[in-house]
């Protein structure tokens, strides 16, 4: 359960997010320039275990089919992962396959259909879905005919609800006006453009070059075709970025007027992601510059009429994401912030993550493993997690912090039958330290993230992460700043 709708205190905090980095103490910057989860789930995906695999996943699907699961008949979300890209972007940490051999897509689409059929066999009947997202990799690696085939297969196995949110990630370098028209005809109504930065030197440093004019042309065309929502992805902390250069990108993006903006801090983990080894670590901006970029982006987008949704998202005040934030209905899932109710998610494709009831599951991460499981008639789930009662309580608190910046004790206590001050006595004591630093305000029956605290909201959430508190090996996560 999420916290209750925002109070005037919270609205005041969010309205003053133009707080400059010069007001953030050196102590806070030094203390919180550390790795930490983004909390698109709790527990985080690194906590998944192989003890939860294909048999356990079949069981939770069967429970949903029989209605034995709370919310078992509610509409679902579907995520489809398309791993292929024609060229590598050096910053990328996604599961991807770099290839110019487009014929490889046919085998992958065959496998996706097999996975859909196996999933449908467990669910007994086509489930209703209210949200569909194609991600990658680059979904636009697929040809028009292949995208048509994929959508036909999805419609054969799932019942698209009226008003479904159907979104797709778009690489502006691989899309034309004609392709956009085809996507609209297929039923997509939301597009996400991968921009990252408009500065030519930065683009060259990360091996992703595209002009402002090309993106502008595509966005103008998308609006003319009637797409309901356009999103732009940006990354701060890339090589050669400066606060001044990123401020220019912020102004250029604001001029394009996308409905939503996703702003991510670059996670430099070359020990985990091979393409990042091509980035010279010495060319990365220091934490103080990253903080200035974040602060400048927040104040810049606010000044252009955007609402600050949370850690990494902005939206126009009329966008459904901003409306959900105002009404206290905001959710967070594996794709980031969402308007969808706390619903089940089926993940299709290599490495995809799903959520059914109180469980998470993840498919095989490599194509050979993924294909092999399906050839044997098995769902390709290789690991996951059945959430405990403690996991569910902590997830509720962490998601309230990440989505609303506020935890009302009453909502947690009623939903989980506990007393916050007793159950989280140790955590609340840790928060007193963060309160002294100005990151949170501890009210008698609530926790409120401050304006400065939004810069470090992941650090606030980390206090309630039981596994992380006992684990000092955090280098697998991106840095908070």
Residues of the binding site for [4Fe-4S] cluster: 85, 89, 92
**Rounded distance between C-alpha atoms, residue 114 and residue 120, angstroms:** 10
Q: Beta partners for 77? A: 131, 345
Q: How many helical (H) and strand (E) elements, i.e. helices and strands, does the chain have?
A: 18, 19
Q: Where are the beta strands (DSSP E) in 381-453?
A: 381-386, 406-408, 440-443, 446-449
Burial of 333 (0-12, 13-18, 19+ CB in 10 A): buried
Based on its alpha-carbon atoms, the radius of gyration of the chain, rounded to whole angstroms, reads 22
CA proximity to 312, closest of 266, 247, 268, 264: 264
Q: Burial code of 381-418, b = ≥16 C-beta within 10 A, e = fewer?
A: bbbbbbbeeebebbbbbbbbbbbbbbbbbebbbeebee
Extract long-range pairs of 389-392: CB within 8 Å, 24+ residues apart. Answer: 389/416, 390/466, 391/42, 391/43, 391/358, 392/358, 392/416
**Rounded distance between C-alpha atoms, residue 95 and residue 113, angstroms:** 20
**Rounded distance between C-alpha atoms, residue 438 and residue 13, angstroms:** 12
DSSP annotation string for 439-453: SEEEETTEEEE-TGG
Feature table: binding site for S-adenosyl-L-methionine: 79, 91-93, 136, 169, 196, 208, 233, 267, 353
**Tokens 């040809």, residue?**
143
Feature table: binding site: 79, 85, 89, 91-93, 136, 169, 196, 208, 233, 267, 353
**Rounded distance between C-alpha atoms, residue 397 and residue 39, angstroms:** 11
**Rounded distance between C-alpha atoms, residue 310 and residue 13, angstroms:** 12
Burial of 295 (0-12, 13-18, 19+ CB in 10 A): buried
DSSP strand pairing (229-236 vs 190-196): parallel
């Amino acid at each position: 359960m999420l916290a209750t709708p925002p109070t005037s205190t919270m609205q005041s905090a969010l309205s003053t997010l133009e707080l400059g980095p010069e007001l953030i103490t050196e102590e806070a910057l030094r203390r919180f320039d550390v790795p930490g989860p983004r909390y698109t789930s709790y527990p985080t995906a690194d906590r998944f275990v192989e003890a939860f695999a294909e048999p356990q996943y079949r069981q939770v699907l069967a429970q949903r089919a029989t209605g034995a699961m709370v919310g078992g008949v509610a509409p679902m979300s579907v995520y489809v992962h398309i791993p292929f890209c024609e060229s590598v972007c050096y910053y990328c940490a996604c599961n991807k396959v770099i290839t110019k051999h487009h014929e490889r897509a046919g085998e992958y689409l065959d496998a996706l259909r097999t996975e859909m059929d196996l999933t449908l066999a467990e669910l007994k009947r086509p489930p209703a879905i209210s949200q569909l997202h194609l991600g990658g990799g680059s979904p636009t690696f697929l040809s028009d005919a292949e995208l048509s085939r994929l959508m036909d297969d999805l419609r054969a196995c799932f019942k698209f609800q009226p008003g479904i949110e159907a979104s797709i990630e778009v690489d502006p370098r691989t899309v034309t006006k004609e392709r956009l028209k085809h996507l609209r005809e297929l039923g997509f109504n939301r597009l996400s453009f991968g921009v990252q930065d408009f500065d030519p030197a930065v683009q060259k440093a990360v091996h992703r070059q595209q002009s402002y004019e090309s993106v502008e042309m595509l966005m103008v065309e998308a609006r003319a075709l009637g797409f309901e929502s356009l999103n732009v992805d940006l990354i701060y902390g890339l090589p050669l970025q400066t606060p001044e250069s990123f401020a220019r990108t912020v102004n250029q993006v604001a001029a394009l007027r996308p409905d939503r903006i996703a702003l991510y801090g670059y996670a430099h983990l070359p020990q985990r992601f091979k393409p990042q080894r091509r980035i010279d670590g010495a060319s990365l901006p220091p934490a103080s510059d990253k903080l200035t970029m974040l602060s400048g982006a927040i104040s810049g987008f606010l000044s252009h009429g955007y609402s600050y949704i949370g850690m990494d998202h902005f939206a126009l005040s009329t966008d459904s994401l901003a409306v959900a934030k105002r009404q206290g209905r905001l959710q967070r899932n594996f794709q980031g912030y969402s308007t969808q109710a706390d619903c089940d998610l089926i993940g299709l494709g290599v490495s995809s993550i799903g959520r059914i009831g109180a469980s998470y599951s993840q498919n095989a991460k490599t194509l050979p493993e993924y294909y092999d499981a399906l050839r044997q008639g098995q769902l390709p789930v290789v690991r996951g997690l059945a959430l405990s009662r403690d996991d569910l309580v902590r997830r509720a608190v962490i998601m309230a912090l990440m989505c609303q910046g506020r935890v009302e004790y009453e909502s947690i206590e009623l939903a989980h039958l506990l007393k916050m001050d007793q159950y989280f006595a140790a955590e609340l004591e840790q928060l007193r330290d963060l309160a002294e630093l100005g990151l949170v305000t501890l009210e008698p029956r609530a926790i409120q993230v401050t304006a400065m605290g939004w810069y470090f909201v992941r650090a606030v959430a980390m206090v309630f992460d039981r596994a992380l508190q006992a684990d000092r090996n955090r280098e697998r996560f991106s840095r908070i700043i």
